[in-house]
Amino acid sequence: MVFRFLADVVMVLHGAMLVFFVIGGFLAWKWRWLIWVHLFIVFWNLVIVLLDFGCPVTALEKFFRREGGEQPYVGGYIAHYLDGPVWPVGGTPWAERIGFTLVVISYIGFFVTGRRQRERVTTGV
């Protein structure tokens, strides 16, 4: 029972990490210190996508599911929980492109808002 609960906690945290991956750069416009956390998450996702290896967070969830007597799902977190229920089956490559595009847009906005803040400070406005 404890292991199933832990598996569910890891599943929810994993989902939160993915949501943060998409919106964290935008949140950093207001809370600038978040950019460092977001950079780590972006780097983490880039490595997993580019090197095509399994996510350790997914492995942890599957471990807890096994220990709890459940049969872990086959494949990765995104394929299991998102591919189909959230976007069309097979749409993961597009979802990844859109996610990374949003990250780039958020980083452009991060630098633009940072520049405007610095200009306000230097001009005294």
Task: Please tell me which residue, 44 or 20, carries the higher pLDDT value.
Answer: 20
pLDDT band at 54 (very low <50, low <70, confident <90, very high): confident
Contact 55, 77 (CB under 8 A): yes
Task: Name the burial class of residue 111, with classes exposed (0-12), middle (13-18) and buried (19+) by CB atoms within 10 angstroms of its CB.
Answer: exposed
Provide the whole-model pTM. 0.84
